[in-house]
Chains A and B, each alone.
Chain A
Amino acid sequence: MTSTASKIIDTGQIATNGLDFKPKTQGNIPRGLTLLAVIIIILILAIILGNIIYGGVGTINWEFLSHPPENGMESGGIVPAIFGTVFLVILMVIAVIPVGVFTAIYLHEYTSPVSRLTRLIRVAINNLAGVPSIVFGLFGLGFFIAFIGGGLDSIFYNSEGPVWGQPAIIWASLTLALLTLPVVIISTEEAIRTIPRELIEASYALGGTKLQTIIRIIIPQALPGILTGSILAVSRGAGEVAPIMFTGAAYYLPYLPSKLNDQFMEMGYHIFVMATQSPDIEATKPILYGTVLVLLILTFLLNFIAIYIRSGMRRRRASLQ
């Protein structure tokens, strides 16, 4: 307590040091400058969105959304990329949600927030959130494909060619699941904090066990946060390219992936491929812009839904305090 108290005095000191305050009109310049920063940011966003909408809106029609690429990607649509993206994020969500939710619950219900273990797990979560996405790609290749996949192959399929030890949608989705794990944990935690403590204590008082309380009270109450987390994870996962480049994304596939060890097409990767490897950049441009626009609409839509749910949750929390 004494140390924090002295710190407060420190911060208070700063205020009294600057006592010779000038007349009140002086705030206009900094106010203007910081407002300028805001305006520039808004402009940047507007230019990017404007450019992409302008370039892409003419391309998007039913045919674009319902046909595979044709003629070396110069015409046709992006169905396999959309399907691959959806399949990928569904697998990812199935893997990441339980782990993320249970981690959040463990941190809140089973351990004390100041225990060394909790702190260690927290450090791990925060650092996982900061690992560069390309490093996840390397990890996916080295761990999931070579170690796990290769291991499965050598145990179950020894003489044949690789079955699991090759790039595949399952490995890409697991790699993405790790990448998005912190998102799910953090937003589930936020939701758990909004649950009125009395509700949980009431459950215990009525003889409910910990597990019962978790299943009947905590998880249902935290559902909006879990949902927000999953949506944010999906939005993040759908846009990441670096982690899936080596773990399963394909340049072109004539069929839709149907097995867990199939490769797949993905929208972000498709954009990368078209921007760098399509034979005729000018002819591909409308399709390229169209794909970018579809990806943006998808991620923005998901983000908006998540923000909406979360703001409802925050209001509830504010009304609790």
Chain B
Amino acid sequence: MNMKELKFKQKSRLWEFLGEKFIAVNAFVALIAIILIFIFIFKEAVPIFTDPEIREEVTLGKMVFKQEFYEGRDAKWSWQPNSEVPKYSLFALFIGTLKAAIIAMLFAIPLGIGAAIYSSEFAGKRMREIIKPVIELLAGIPSVVLGFFALIVLATFLQNLFGLTFRLNALNAGIALGIAIIPIIFTVAEDAMTSVPRSLREAATALGANQWQVSLTVVLPAALPGLSAGVVLGFGRAIGETMIVLLASGNAAIISANFVDSVRTFSATIAAELAEVVFGSGHYSVLFFIGSLLFVFTFIINFSGDMLLTRIKSRFQGKMN
């Protein structure tokens, strides 16, 4: 080996080293991002726990429990951040978020799972070629467009249909949200069902089951973690979605069990109020606290969705070995 070759080798080894480091750095972006997101959002919420001036205005207890805001009046939950006596009861927003998400789930689960069952169990090749692009198109509609549609068209339709008092309400926002999460539920559920090993189906067929019985007694139970994952991930999206609820929900922080009242959700509250707040004020910290809650909540949801999917994967891959 002469000197020139050696030099070349060394140089290329240096490049290899740098290349690997460079690629590795990129690979850590996602990990670092998720950590930074949490740090930078929670950081702005910290004054609620530490700053004495802000704690006079708002504390964790004030955000959670009923408060007697004025002497002599009943204690209640209320979201009125721009008042003489600022009121930051997150409970009202929590109810609103939950109501919209529940309606979205009630609307999207039967449709998403139903269509997934049809697509994986009954549909012929041609039908599947229609369903797939339909779902992809639905998934491709930007949420602001769905919100716009709910605001202009769906709200009027629902109000006339049911004679509703509030034109913009939880039902309206929930259905629009439901449309947004159908693709998620469908895709994950369908994936899970089509990945059920053929041998399982064949065994049941051999025992005399018809197609639907195979689906009901073999495929569905086997794919159940996948179906649940779809539902869980859909729920996570429903909680965090912003533009749809901002446009379609009416944004009134009402505490009631009525599903056709207007609602105000966590995400829409941030979107509507962040632009106004004075940086570093109590209100500002509360909005970032809501952001932290959303982050933690969706993190848990996604994590459990992930676990479910890993379980179904290992279940079927074990089969193949």
Contact = CB atoms under 8 A, between A and B. Distances in A.
**CB–CB under 8 A between A and B in the complex?**
yes
Interface of A: 1, 3-5, 7-8, 11-12, 14-19, 21-24, 26-27, 30-31, 33-38, 40-42, 44-45, 48-49, 51-52, 98-99, 102-103, 105-107, 110, 120-121, 123-139, 141-143, 147, 178, 181-182, 185, 209-211, 214, 235, 238-242, 245-246, 268-269, 271-272, 275-276, 288, 292, 295-296, 299-300, 303, 307
A300 B137 contact: yes
A138 B119 contact: no
Given A33-B114, A99-B26, A135-B291, A1 B19 contact: no
A252 to B, nearest CB: 16
Contact of A239 (B136, B143, B210): B143
B23 A106 contact: yes
* A19, A103, A127: most-surrounded residue (chain B CB, <10 A): A127
Interface stretch (B50-58, B256-264, B299-307): B299-307
Closest 4 A-B residue pairs measured CB to CB? Answer: A132-B240, A239-B142, A4-B318, A37-B114
B212 interface: yes
Contacts, number: 298
B142 A103 contact: no
B190 to A, nearest CB: 11
29 contacts: A4-B315, A12-B203, A15-B218, A21-B210, A22-B210, A31-B212, A38-B114, A38-B127, A41-B134, A42-B130, A51-B149, A103-B27, A106-B23, A126-B306, A130-B305, A131-B295, A132-B237, A133-B242, A134-B294, A136-B37, A138-B287, A209-B12, A239-B141, A242-B143, A271-B144, A272-B144, A296-B145, A299-B141, A303-B136
B309 to A, nearest CB: 9
Contact of A27 (B145, B210, B236, B302): B210
Contacts of A135: 37, 41, 240, 291, 294-295, 298
B299 A52 contact: no
B40 A147 contact: yes
A246 B277 CA distance: 12
A12 B206 CA distance: 13
Interface stretch (B59-67, B76-84, B87-95, B267-275): B267-275
Contact of A242 (B112, B117, B236, B271): B271
Given A31-B118, A127-B303, A300-B137, 15 more contacts: A21-B210, A23-B210, A30-B212, A37-B111, A37-B114, A38-B115, A41-B134, A45-B137, A102-B26, A130-B298, A131-B298, A132-B267, A135-B295, A211-B15, A239-B141
A134 B243 CA distance: 9
Interface residues of B, number: 106
Interface residues of B, dominant DSSP: helix
B118 A246 contact: no
Contacts of A276: 247
Given A14-B218, A38-B118, A128-B34, A8 B136 contact: no
